[in-house]
Amino acid sequence: MMLSTVRNPERLVGDAVRRLVEERPPEATPRTEFLAARFDAGLAWIQFPPGLGGLGLNPRLQGIADLVVQEAGGPDPFELN
């Protein structure tokens, strides 16, 4: 089953971000460890399949994940680029 058939994908993304931040508080987690956990949670590239950094959802939801992670103090994965 593709996750894109989820009834409330926004809630799925929000819940995944909240779990990530609870399990790996940004202020107490090394940057690379936090980013790896973000990938594992499927929040790196929302549109990619599960296990490959995503949740199989519409890419427009990436902004929700990025905003909530940023508001929680999470590192910007692109600041080194």
d(CA 29, CA 22): 11
Which of the four pLDDT bands, split at 50, 70 and 90, describes residue 22? very high
**Mind listing the pLDDT tens digit for each residue in 41-61?**
999 999 999 999 999 999 999
Cβ of 14: how many Cβ atoms within 10 Å? 15
Residue where the block lists tokens 């809630």: 11
Predicted confidence (pLDDT) at residue 76 exceeds the cutoff of 90: no
